[in-house]
């Protein structure tokens, strides 16, 4: 027995979806055209403007169990299709997260560099301040000494590292260099290699070197040379060596060319175990590395 037109049949598709016919139009959403079999005496509903044309493919069938899956598939969206919203969201977030991470590391690095720069500037400022204060203290002490006309023993007349004696300041190096380089070091400190003018000065230097020499060969350059003309000995202040005021060791000078064909044109001094009659000079190859003695006047 066929149902009446418009009657509700148990298990039939919901209203608006006919068990009779449906049509599909391309890739758009399926629009349905509902028909009732002609032998039931029902007329098809008037077509709508957006429904598929009559030439589209029609799927027809009985309102039985075989048509229920179609209705269910039309009523329930498929869960197999990817969730493009979620995919787009996650893809959009990743670059932003990476950018935030990169910005964070850049800020950390900049902060560390800023801290290090601030620390360096602080240390430099402290050092400059301490140097300034030291110079002020020394100048103040010097001014006080001069104002009170104190003795030489009370007021410092030589810079730090220099030893006073007889109105002069002496610097005894702890590093070695050639005769020419040694002289440059002395002149850079407003002095020159020592010029020995009397026996007392020779005695002071020899006794001081006995304490400073580490071994017998640990001698010191003095400002005497015959490099301009052989056997014509000159001091660095261009005065000639006084033949009555010399302190050559026995057999010196010998200009021995064993260590260099040019001979020995520069003078060094020092006897670790003491010198007989203060005789402690000998000539040596000028490029030989030795320690040296600088000399300059005391401060007025």
Q: How many other β-carbons are positioned within 10 Å of the β-carbon of residue 209?
A: 21
Q: In this model, does residue 23 exceed pLDDT 70?
A: no
Contact 33, 58 (CB under 8 A): yes
When mean pLDDT is compared over 39-43, 53-57, 74-78, 203-207, the highest value belongs to 203-207
Cβ count near 162 (within 10 Å): 19
Write out pLDDT tens, residues 250-291.
999 999 887 788 889 999 999 999 999 999 999 999 999 999
| Interatomic CA distance for residues 59 and 67, integer angstroms | 10
Q: Check: CB of residue 155 under 8 Å from CB of residue 168.
A: no
* pLDDT score, position 95: 53
Each domain of the chain, given as residue ranges in start order, spans 21-75, 83-156, 163-297
Whose CA is closest to 13, among 62, 79, 53, 47?
62
pLDDT in tens, 126-170: 888 877 877 776 677 666 666 655 554 566 789 999 999 999 999
The top-scoring range by mean pLDDT among 35-44, 93-102, 208-217, 255-264 is 208-217
CATH class, 163-297 region: alpha beta
Tell me what pLDDT residue 147 has.
61
pTM confidence score:
0.51
């Amino acid at each position: 027995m066929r149902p009446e037109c418009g009657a509700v049949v148990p298990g039939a598709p919901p209203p608006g979806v006919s068990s009779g016919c449906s049509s599909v139009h391309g890739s758009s959403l399926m629009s349905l055209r509902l028909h009732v079999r002609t032998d039931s005496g029902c007329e098809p509903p008037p077509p709508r403007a957006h429904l598929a044309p009559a030439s589209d493919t029609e799927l027809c069938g009985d309102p039985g169990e075989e048509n229920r899956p179609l209705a269910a598939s039309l009523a329930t969206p498929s869960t197999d299709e990817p969730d493009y919203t979620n995919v787009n969201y996650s893809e959009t977030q990743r670059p932003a997260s990476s950018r935030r991470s990169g910005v964070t590391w850049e800020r950390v690095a900049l902060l560390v560099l800023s801290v290090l720069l601030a620390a360096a500037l602080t240390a430099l400022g402290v050092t400059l301040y301490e140097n300034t204060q030291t110079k002020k203290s020394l100048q103040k002490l010097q001014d006080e000494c001069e104002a009170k006309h104190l003795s030489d023993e009370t007021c410092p007349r030589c810079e730090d590292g220099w030893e006073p004696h007889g109105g002069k300041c002496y610097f005894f190096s702890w590093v070695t260099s050639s005769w020419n380089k040694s002289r440059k070091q002395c002149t850079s400190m407003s002095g020159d290699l020592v010029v020995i003018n009397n026996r007392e000065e020779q005695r002071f230097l020899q006794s001081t070197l006995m304490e400073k020499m580490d071994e017998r060969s640990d001698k010191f350059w003095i400002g005497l040379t015959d490099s301009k003309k052989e056997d014509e000995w000159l001091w660095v202040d261009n005065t000639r060596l006084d033949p009555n005021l010399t302190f050559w060791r026995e057999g010196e000078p010998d200009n021995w060319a064993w260590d260099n064909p040019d001979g020995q044109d520069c003078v060094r001094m020092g006897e670790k175990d003491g010198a007989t009659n203060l005789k402690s000079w000998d000539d040596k190859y000028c490029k030989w590395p030795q320690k040296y003695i600088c000399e300059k006047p005391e401060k007025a």
